[in-house]
Chains A and B, each alone.
Chain A
Amino acid sequence: MLKLEQVSKTYGNKNEKAVDNISLEVHPGEIFGFVGPNGAGKTTTIKMMVSLLKPDTGRIFINGIDNQKNILEAKKQFSYVPDNPELFEKIKGIEYLKFLADVYEVPLTERQKQIEKYLDLFEIKDAINDPIGSFSHGMKQKLALVGALIHNPEVFILDEPMVGLDPKASFELKKIMREHCDQGRSVFFSTHVLDVAEKLCDRIAIIKKGKIIEVGTMDEIRTKAGSHESLENIFLELTE
Chain B
Amino acid sequence: MREIINLTKLFLNDSLGFSLFFYNKTHNKKEFSKQLFTMIIVPVALIPAFFMYISFMTALYTGLRLINQASVFLTIGYIFTSALIIIFGIMYILSEFYFSKNMEELIPLPIAPRKIIISKFASILVLEYVFTALIFIPVLMIYGIGQGMGLGYVFLAFVVFLTLPLLPLALETALIMTIMRSFSIKGRKDVVQIFFIIIGISLIIGVQFWFGTQMGSSGEVDLQTLMNSLLDNNVKLLNMIGYFVPTSLLVAWGLNEINMMSVFWVFCLALITAFSFGLMVFIGEWFFITSLITGKTSRKGKKLTRAERQRSLGQKSHGAMAIFTMDMRLLLRTPIFLFNNVSVVIIVPLCILIILSFSHLTPQDFDAVKSFYDQMPMVVNFMLMGFFVFFGATSATTATTFSREGRASWLTRIVPVSPRDQIIGRTASALVVQSLGILFTLIGVYYYLQLTVMTILLTVILGVLGTVPILLFGLLIDMNRPLLDWDNPQKAVKNNMNVIITLFVGMSYVGLLIAISGVLGYLVNQWLGYGFFTIISLVLTIIFYKTINKNMEERLLAF
Contacts and interface: CB of A to CB of B under 8 A. Distances in A.
A129 B491 CA distance: 28
A97 B406 contact: no
A129 B304 CA distance: 7
Contacts of A129: 300-304
A103 interface: yes
Contact of B553 (A71, A126, A131): A71
Given A54-B558, A94-B309, A128-B309, A102 B319 contact: yes
Interface residues of B, number: 48
A51 B557 contact: yes
B313 interface: yes
B112 to A, nearest CB: 28
Given A75-B416, A90-B329, A101 B29 contact: no
B310 interface: yes
Contacts of B313: 94, 97-98, 101, 108, 111-112, 115
A104 B27 contact: no
Nearest to B31: A12
A94 B304 contact: yes
Contacts of A52: 410, 413-414, 557, 559
Contact of A88 (B190, B330, B553): B330
Interface size class of A (residues with CB under 8 A): 35 or more
B556 interface: yes
Contacts of B554: 54
A234 interface: no
A138 interface: no
A14 B28 CA distance: 10
A119 B190 CA distance: 28
Interface string A112-130: 1001100100000110111
B406 A75 contact: no
Interface string B312-327: 1110111101110110
A99 B322 contact: yes
Contacts of B414: 50-52, 75, 80
Contacts of B407: 86
B298 A82 contact: no
B415 A103 contact: yes
B312 A108 contact: no
Contacts of A97: 313
Interface of B: 27-29, 190, 298-304, 306, 309-310, 312-314, 316-319, 321-323, 325-326, 329-330, 333-334, 405-408, 410-411, 413-418, 553-554, 556-559
26 contacts: A12-B28, A52-B413, A53-B557, A54-B554, A72-B553, A75-B415, A76-B416, A86-B410, A89-B408, A90-B330, A90-B333, A91-B329, A91-B330, A94-B309, A94-B312, A94-B313, A95-B325, A98-B317, A102-B317, A102-B319, A103-B415, A103-B417, A104-B416, A112-B313, A119-B309, A125-B309
